């Protein structure tokens, strides 16, 4: 009798364990993006290029061969899209740092990549000139868009001019991201600031559509679209991503967020987080999962496609910067691949160049590009890219 009882209890334990295992593996509580991105290339892995924005840029479209060498190999790696993050201070009559960082430079660079590769190109305008206000970096262009209707009109007209010059390129090759990291955050983001930006964005999108009716447009949220920022106690800074971004009443729009959490892992440099040398932990992995679910649930609630248009990891540089080992950024990349890309959310890594490059770091943080463009195997494996 005792033997029968023990056998019965053991059978129950095995059954319970099997049931629990099946329930966990079914991922019944995991959200998957329901509304797919309209452009296939924007559902995969892409890279931001700072060549048309950074003051440290060494990559001019006037030297075609040198310019293209940075982009031609990307599609052989399996990169799906390249984002030309472009200084747009010229919208309000300010000069950017480099002579090719103009509207004409944006158009010229886009054509070079479109005509010489199969990469999907995203043009994205971004402010450059900025100053500290209440401890935050606030740009002249963002402030003008928030406060000045004439600047908002000039912004829309600039996009219309870009759209006209590139109207011959089909939607599956080219799309537009209106503004990198809209700020509208002094003293802090609020509904009226969000709605002001969404009004500017909608009018700009309508202006683009008057030229290119089928062009896919990407819109980021205010507060630099950092939907998952944490407070000092580790809690979410915003109760909902709605505080930063809500859909506008137009079709063929992708909504986009940025995320540099967990900051203590991703920003490991003395000039950023203040220290370095930490490994990628289970705590960090759980944060990536929960943030991905937050973005996907927001998108599913609104029935819109979504992207993560900026995330990245300061790469390992022995004794100088980055995580504990060169494998740690790869572990983070694998989680981004698993929880975003494999659930329908396209991702754009910051960046092709500098300290968050996809290549092995061989020089200090002010290095524009490593002299040898050796793929960082850990990051490549994480994103399932090909190493030639």
Q: Give the model's pLDDT for residue 153.
A: 98
Bridge partners, 129 (sequence order): none
- Tell me: pLDDT of 163 over 50: yes
- pLDDT class for 194, splitting at 50, 70, 90? very high
- pLDDT class for 43, splitting at 50, 70, 90? very high
- Tell me: pLDDT of 15 over 50: no
Q: Give the model's pLDDT for residue 6.
A: 38
Q: Give the model's pLDDT for residue 23.
A: 29
Token pair for residue 40?
């296939």
| Assessment of whether the complete model's pTM goes beyond 0.75 | yes
| pLDDT tens track for 51-103 | 999 999 999 999 999 999 999 999 999 999 999 999 999 999 999 999 999 99
| pLDDT tens track for 241-271 | 999 999 999 999 999 999 999 999 999 999 9
- Tell me: pLDDT of 210 over 70: yes
| pLDDT tens track for 117-150 | 999 999 999 999 999 998 899 999 999 999 999 9
* Burial label, 229 (beta-carbon count in 10 A; 0-12, 13-18, 19+): middle
Contact predicate 388/73, CB 8 Å: yes
Give the rounded distance of the alpha carbon of 187 from its chain centre. 25
* H-state helical runs in 46-190: 64-72, 74-77, 103-116, 140-147, 149-165
Contact predicate 35/29, CB 8 Å: no
> E strands of 76-140, at which residues?
81-87, 120-126, 130-133, 136-139
DSSP string, 343-388: GT-EEEES-SSGGG-SBPP-S-TT-SS-SS--B-HHHHHHTTPPP-
Residues contacting residue 166 through CB under 8 Å, at least 6 positions apart? 107, 110, 111, 123, 174
33-382 is classed CATH 3.20.20.80: yes
Nearest 5°: the CA angle 16, 18, 24 is 100
Extents of the domains making up the chain: 33-382
């Amino acid at each position: 009798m005792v033997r029968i009882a023990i056998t019965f209890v053991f059978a129950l334990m095995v059954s319970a364990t099997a049931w629990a295992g099946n329930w966990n593996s079914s991922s019944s509580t995991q959200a998957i993006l329901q509304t797919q991105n309209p452009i296939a290339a924007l559902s995969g892995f892409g890279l931001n290029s700072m060549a048309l924005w950074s003051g440290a840029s060494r990559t001019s479209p006037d030297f075609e061969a040198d310019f293209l060498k940075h982009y031609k190999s990307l599609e052989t790696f399996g990169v799906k899209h390249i984002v030309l993050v472009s200084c747009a201070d010229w919208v309000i009559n300010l000069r950017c740092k480099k002579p090719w960082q103009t509207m004409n430079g944006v158009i010229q660079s886009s054509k070079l990549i479109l005509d010489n590769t199969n990469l999907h190109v995203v043009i994205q305008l971004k402010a450059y000139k900025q100053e500290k206000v209440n401890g935050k970096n606030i740009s002249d262009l963002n402030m003008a868009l928030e406060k000045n209707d004439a600047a908002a009109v000039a912004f829309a007209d600039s996009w219309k001019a870009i759209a006209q010059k590139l109207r011959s390129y089909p939607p599956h090759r080219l799309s537009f991201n209106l503004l990198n990291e809209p700020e509208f955050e002094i003293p802090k983001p609020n509904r009226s600031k969000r709605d002001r930006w969404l009004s500017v964005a909608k009018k700009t999108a309508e202006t683009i559509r008057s030229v290119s009716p089928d062009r896919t447009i990407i819109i980021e949220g205010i507060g630099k679209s950092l939907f998952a920022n944490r407070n000092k106690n580790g809690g979410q800074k915003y109760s909902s991503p709605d505080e930063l971004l809500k859909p506008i009443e137009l079709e063929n729009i992708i909504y986009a967020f940025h995320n540099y959490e967990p900051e203590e892992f991703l920003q490991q440099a003395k000039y950023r987080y203040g220290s370095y040398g930490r490994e990628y932990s289970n705590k960090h992995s759980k944060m990536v999962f929960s943030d991905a679910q937050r973005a996907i649930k927001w998108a599913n609630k609104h029935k819109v496609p979504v992207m993560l248009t900026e995330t990245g990891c300061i790469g390992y540089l022995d004794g100088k910067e980055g995580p504990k080992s060169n494998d740690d950024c790869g572990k983070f990349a694998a989680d981004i691949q698993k929880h975003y890309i494999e659930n329908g959310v396209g991702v754009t890594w910051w960046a092709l160049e500098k300290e968050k490059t996809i290549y092995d770091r061989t020089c200090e943080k002010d290095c524009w590009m490593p002299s040898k463009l050796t793929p960082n195997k850990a990051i490549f494996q994480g994103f399932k890219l090909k190493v030639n």
